[in-house]
Amino acid sequence: MSAGFTIDRRAFVQLATTFGLSLSVPCLAAKSSAALLTTDEWTLIGEVSELIIPTTDTGGALAAGVPDFVKMMLSDWFNESERENFVSGVHEFSAGALKKYGKNFGGLTASQKDQFFGELLATAEGGATAPRTPFVVLMKRLTIFGYYTSELGATTELRQQIATAKYQPAAVVKPGDRADSGLPGATYWFNAG
């Protein structure tokens, strides 16, 4: 559950107790995220996001504008240390692909890209300890959050009903029904650590 980025309204207060301890970290000036990564690296971000939430019968991460969301988060939301961790994670990821395949990530076949990313993610999610959150895990969090809070993700991939006028406490799920993306409470939570 430590990876979660949303919590119910009342439970938020408890997590906030912990969060409160880190609130005094001084904030550093935001950097333009475009300058943090090369054009090729931004392409890589887009490709990785599409591996996580691909185009199927609905649009995927690219169609939902996830790379722009990542840019915003990197420049305006992440703190300096989180940003450094992310950027060095991109470098490490690129270097890993080059080492394994002798090619840049962008030059791999679709199945090589999927396999390379999938193996790293499986290792990270398999309980491997790392001093900082690995790039592949951060990308998964960013992609899921960015996708399902986009208009495409919230209303086409999922269903959004903002004011239903009536409350149905035990509606029956029919085959093919999509989950409600919800109009959540005031607060989401994101762990960029």
Residues in 115-154 at the binding interface with another protein, rule: CB under 8 A: 117-118, 121-122, 125, 140-141, 144-146, 148-151, 153-154
Binding span for another protein by CB under 8 A among 31-39, 83-91, 97-105, 110-118? 110-118
Closer Cβ to another protein, 99 or 166, answer by number: 166
Q: HSE (CB half, 13 Å, CA atoms) of 122?
A: 6
Q: Which of 11, 35, 110, 129 lies at the binding interface for another protein (CB under 8 A)?
A: 11
Placement of tokens 């409600």 in the chain: 180
Residues in 50-109 at the binding interface with another protein, rule: CB under 8 A: 51-54, 56, 60, 69, 72, 76-77, 79
Q: HSE (CB half, 13 Å, CA atoms) of 4?
A: 10
Long-range contacts from 11-15, C-beta under 8 angstroms, 24+ separation:
12/185, 12/187, 12/189, 15/189
Closer Cβ to another protein, 49 or 94, answer by number: 49
In angstroms, the CA 31 to CA 54 distance is 29
In angstroms, the CA 165 to CA 81 distance is 46
Considering the rule CB under 8 A, would residue 24 count as an interface residue with another protein?
A: yes
Considering the rule CB under 8 A, would residue 36 count as an interface residue with another protein?
A: no
Considering the rule CB under 8 A, would residue 111 count as an interface residue with another protein?
A: no
Smallest gap from Cβ 73 to another protein, in A, equals 8
Smallest gap from Cβ 99 to another protein, in A, equals 22
Query: How far does CA 48 lie from the centroid of its chain?
Result: 10
